[in-house]
A = this chain, B = another copy of it.
Amino acid sequence: MRAGYDEELLSVNEDLVQMTRLVGSAMNRATQSLLDADLTMAEAVIAGDVQVDALTGAIEERCFDLIALRQPVAGDLRVVIGALRIAASLERMGDLAEHVAKQARMRYPRPAVPQELRGTFAVMGGLAEAIVSKTGSVIATKDVSLAADIAAHDTEMDRLHRELFTIVLSPSWTHGVEAAIDVTLLSRYYERYADHAVSVTRRVVTIVTGEPYVGVSLD
């Protein structure tokens, strides 16, 4: 019984790692579609989100069956409930990648970000990639020492988010209101994406260490 249970749990965990790959690839391609005003890539990201949603649904059903059939308690139950929440956060990260791609599609054939901010968004995309791949490692290996790295990337993401605010509000901003709003929303998508990854990491830390979960403001 126990061996079968552990196998099922491991398989759920592998699916969660697979989700980090999917939403990582989605954000990478979304960033590319944004920087290159690449409509085909944007459409691919938007169309691909159903795959993320389907995997989330499948993981939820399997967690549900695990609880109903195996009736785990204490630490075991916390792991399964934690997996449910991690899946929900990863699904939202997929939605955020989709939002970025939709913004790229909306402004096509014009780029959605002004030339001089492309570099900043490229860095934000790079940080998103670093964060999500490390989040995948944390889930896979339960090596929570990576949590500090992820938190550092998130701090840098927050800094860039604030920097972009300052830029669009400065008197030297010449791109008008629409571009300012585009930049603000896009920047917020990256910042939220990182926040959800931090939340996932903290869930794993809670499961591994038994320390209470420290919430991240997510909406």
Contacts and interface: CB of A to CB of B under 8 A. Distances in A.
Work out how many copies of this chain go into the complex: 2
Contacts of A73: 68-69, 71
Contacts of A189: 219
B64 A81 contact: yes
A77 B69 CA distance: 11
A218 B169 contact: no
A122 interface: no
A164 to B, nearest CB: 11
A74 interface: yes
Contacts of A218: 92, 95
Residue from the set A68, A69, A77, A196 with the largest chain B CB neighbour count within 10 Å? A68
Interface stretch (A7-15, A37-45, A180-188): A180-188
A74 B67 CA distance: 10
A64 B77 contact: yes
Interface string A154-169: 0000000000010011
Interface string A49-73: 0000100000000001001110101
Given A84-B81, A169-B181, A185-B184, A67 B64 contact: no
A177 interface: yes
Interface in A83-116: 84-85, 88, 92-93, 95-96, 98-99
Interface of A: 53, 64, 67-69, 71, 73-74, 77-78, 81, 84-85, 88, 92-93, 95-96, 98-99, 165, 168-169, 173, 176-178, 180-181, 184-185, 188-189, 192, 196, 215, 217-219
26 contacts: A53-B215, A64-B78, A64-B81, A67-B77, A68-B77, A69-B73, A71-B71, A81-B84, A85-B88, A88-B88, A92-B218, A93-B219, A95-B218, A96-B219, A165-B181, A168-B177, A168-B181, A169-B177, A177-B177, A177-B180, A180-B181, A181-B181, A184-B184, A185-B188, A192-B219, A196-B219
